[in-house]
Structure formats: C-alpha cells, structure tokens
Structure 1
C-alpha cells in the first residue's frame, strides 16, 4: 500500500531519489555532477530544496536557486524556481501546494524577497491559479541572420574561453547603475565564474572591453544548433547604458566572433533597460523569435508595484536555467 507522502526539506542522501525522479518525470538522465552544479555549488548558498517522500521513495521535488539581484537600487537576494516535479503515479495538487509552501517559508527565513521563473505552458497555469504567481509579458527572443558589420573588431576586446578561479578576485565589473534602477540580476565575479565557467555541460566565450581589473563592458556568447541552423546566443551583457560607443564596439566584436564559428543566426533577450536593446534593430535583429513564459512570486508584503511593472525588469538569458 502506498503511503501518504511526507513533505520535508532536503537531506544529504536524497540525491539518488531526485535523479530517479528526473528520469521518471522528464525522461532525462541528470548526472550527479550536473545536479551538484545546479543545486549545491552556487556562490551565494545552496539551493532551497523540498521533497515529498512516501514508502516508495521521493515522489516530489520543489527547488529554488538563490540569485543576487538589484531591486530598485538596493542589492537583495531573489530566487529562481527550478526543478518542480511530481511523479506521474502520485500527481496531485495537495503535494505540490505543500512542497511550494514549505519552500516559500524557507526562502523567507533565508531572506529572499521574491521568486521568478520561466515555466512551460502547463506548469505556468498551475503556478498562477494554484500557487498565486503573477504573470509578466512573455520574453521574446530578438533574432535574425548574422549580418557582418563593416567595422573591424576592436583591438581592446579580450576573449576568454576559460577562466581560472584565481583570476576571480581581480575582476572589476562595469558600473551598472542603470540596472540598479529596476530589477535585474546582480552580477558578481563569483557568480559569473559559477554560471559560465563551472557549467559542466556548456561552453561560453567571454568578451571583455578594457581589462579584467577595469572592465568597461562584457558579453557572454554561446553557440549551438537549433533545427539544423547554427545559432549564436548573446547570453549575458553588461555595458552601462550611457556608454553607447562601448556597447556598439562590443556588439561588433560579438558578431565577428560568431562569424569565425560559422554562426548563421543570432539571438538574445533584451529589454529596454539594457544598453543592447537599441542596438539590435540596426544589427538586423527583431523580436520575432521564441517566446518564454515569465513571472514572479512576491515573498514579502512589499515591492508589489515595482515587481508588477514589466518596465522595471531587465532580464537576460543568463538569468535563466536554460541558456
């Protein structure tokens, strides 16, 4: 007889049951190395993980990655909701709700102010109706053919495909006061190293304007094949919005780098608060690509107005768990 599941916080030793649940729900084999990177190795703190367990093992999972953010000029800790799943043989709303509520309580205890997520269509309806998440406009990829600019690559651009850990303390990121005015991921050297150079399954290129100890701007690039077409993603971008010339040089350099890898089309996310936003139309890109659901859950009784304003957000592909 199958027992009623118990909902509890993660305990060491749950990993094998969680990996088995990934296979049962999503039909994917997540390696232990991948699991550690996603859930245990973030520089801020490990993920908040809640599981549901019965006498047959772990049958439910709800997790939140703590992420450093800017919220209207103040640094804070937010959370990216990831890995929400319930075993097909045990699916019911009660288990999902109990896991979510316990996870939210732990998030509040750890000082997280809000959560955000990019759910698929089916999960998004449940999050909104059952868990009280708020929808924001879908994120639409800017995309288009790779058009080579006439200007040459800026000789001041450095390109990094690997980044030794000992270099991290010397990083001095560009001033991002513009990002601080809204809601955006707060980039720190340890976070950048974890997100882009410790990822066991993806390779990125870091393009730097200036030097590591005095960056004027940077871009992280990724290449992959979609439906037989080689794409170049601009996954992460940070150039102060007032530095239009720097931003233009960096975009030219990114396109030149893509061309050397036989990239055919380019894509990215860019919202109006980003210095990349106004450059894209002249570069041949338009907001006509894939759409991604996006929304938030406010963990406090404050900040409702700014969280609800889609004009406040500056989200990039680097803020997701996919790109």
Structure 2
C-alpha cells in the first residue's frame, strides 16, 4: 500500500499503541507495559509500525533472544494489524523490516493464537511446529502416581536462556503481572502468578517458569508441589502450566494429577541458517509459559 508509512515505533507512540491494542483485545495493556517491553528490555527489541494518516494501524515486535547454547533467535511479539488493513501486505512488510534489524539471527519464532498462526504461516512462510496445550490441576491430589522414569529419554532440548539479568527484568515489578518465587532449595524454584479472567472474574494460578534438574523427577515434583500448594492457598480455581509431551516434566506433572487442557496457542518457527534445521523438530524443544510475552 503506497499510503502506508513504515517506521520504527518510538516512546512517543506509546499512547497510540495502547489505543490500537485495547481496541482489539479483552486483555488490556497500559503504557507501562510498552515502556517495559520495548524500551527497558533485557533483550534487544524493536517494534516496526505501519502509520496511515497519522494513525498506527499495525505493529510487529521482535526480540533478539538467546537459547541456552548461545543461538540467537528472533521472537516475534505483539503482532497486530487493524482489521481494515489486513490482507493487504502490511503484516508481511512489517515482519520483513523487523527481521532486517538484526544481522545474526539463526531462526525466528512466535507463540501465536490461531489468527496469528495463520498469518505467520501464510504471509511469512513460518512452519507450525505444534499446538501447545496447557496442563491444568483443579485440586491437589492426595496420592501422586509413580513416574516410570525408565521410559523417559532425557534429551538435549533447546530452551531459552534465563540468566540473572534476564530473570530480574522478566519478572520485575514493572512487568504485566506480579510474580512470586516459590523455592525448595538454593537453585530449585518455581515462578508463579495470578491471572484474573477479564470476562468471568475468576482467579487462576500459573506456574510460568521453574528451575531444577529436569532429569530428576523427585526435584521436579518437589518444586511443582510447593508451587501448587502456594497457589491453592490463594484460592485459585485451578493451576496451569506448560509441559511438552516428550519431556520429563510432562510425565511428572501427569503423575501429580495435571490433565491436558486445549488452548489456542501454537509454536511457529522459521529457520534462517540451514545448519539449524533441527529447530523445526517440536520434539527438540522445552518451552515454558514465560517464553511467551502474554504470560
């Protein structure tokens, strides 16, 4: 579209970002969110915008994140095009411009809903690796089922890096939610938050991240049980978390009574370096809720 001005979003655009997002989503964003996410981020971050007649009509955010092995990944966040400008090439151009801001990315990824998945697949050529269902626990089981650890193969799974500075930024007081660390040891902990459904008003507990030896079912159980007990003391309806079916975590949580709950969340990847083709394998990833910006 010839009448669209493509440019990087600045701090001065924040009020217009709030207007754009809150017109489309029930889950509202305030100005503090955009300051924290784009101008105080622990990761190099850019947001490209599409301006028409002085109004922001579309945006595409991109963070340069690292995997634990040092691989640079561009994670797309806050993707939104106003309805009247969809299907006109705006989304694809915003994505191209955002990716061009980083020279060393080995792959791109995103955690979209169904509409975002379709847009990334159709307009950007990204591959849908799989659908991420939540695991949910509605009450604390009296007896945990044993886990057959001999049937679980520990793999060198790819996961996002959460170092000290990253943790401090991602879960700080300026983030969208208030997070709490639930510790079972010096290095073992879970990070939790409370989510209040904007429609029903019900409270839910999320275990958004954790740290312990993924090869040790007892350590996983201890961390998650402590977090679950804490959240239920806060009178939540249920507790949710993520665990992909090929991980130790998934099997341990099933043993604790968690059940799969379908949700509209996907994981899409586009590999930019042919030596990283294994990133197209969903079975090669370990993902947690806090990897996605909405948590």
Match of 1:224 among 181, 195, 198: 195
Match of 1:206 among 181, 188, 203: 181
Distance in 2 between residues matched to 1:131 and 1:37, nearest whole Å: 27
Q: In 2 relative to 1, CA 297–278 (structure 1 residues): closer, same or farther, beyond 3 Å?
A: same
Q: In 2 relative to 1, CA 300–142 (structure 1 residues): closer, same or farther, beyond 3 Å?
A: same
1:125 matches 2:118: yes
CA RMSD of aligned residues (A): 2.6
How far does residue 188 in structure 1 lie from its aligned partner after superposition?
0.7
Per-residue deviation, residues 112-163 of structure 1 (Å, max 9, x unmatched): 2222212222232121112101001100111132215579xxxxxxxxxxxx
Q: In 2 relative to 1, CA 191–273 (structure 1 residues): closer, same or farther, beyond 3 Å?
A: farther
> What's the TM-score once normalised by structure 1's chain length?
0.78
Tell me whether 127-136 or 196-205 shows the greater mean CA deviation.
196-205
1:147 matches 2:145: no
- Would you tell me which structure has more strand in proportion to its own residues? 1
Which residue is equivalent to 2:148? none
Q: In the comparison of the two structures, how many residue pairs are matched?
A: 284
Which consecutive unaligned segments of at least 5 residues does structure 2 have?
145-153
How far does residue 291 in structure 1 lie from its aligned partner after superposition?
4.1
Alignment of 1:1-323 (within 5 A): 4-26=3-25, 30-45=29-44, 47-70=45-68, 74-107=69-102, 109=103, 111-149=104-142, 181-211=156-186, 215=187, 217-226=188-197, 227=200, 229-272=202-245, 274-304=247-277, 306-323=278-295
Distance in 2 between residues matched to 1:122 and 1:185, nearest whole Å: 24
Q: In 2 relative to 1, CA 235–6 (structure 1 residues): closer, same or farther, beyond 3 Å?
A: same
Per-residue deviation, residues 277-307 of structure 1 (Å, max 9, x unmatched): 2211221112234241221122333312x11
Conserved 8 A contact 1:63-1:84: yes
Which consecutive unaligned segments of at least 5 residues does structure 1 have?
152-177
SS for the counterpart of 1:22 is helix
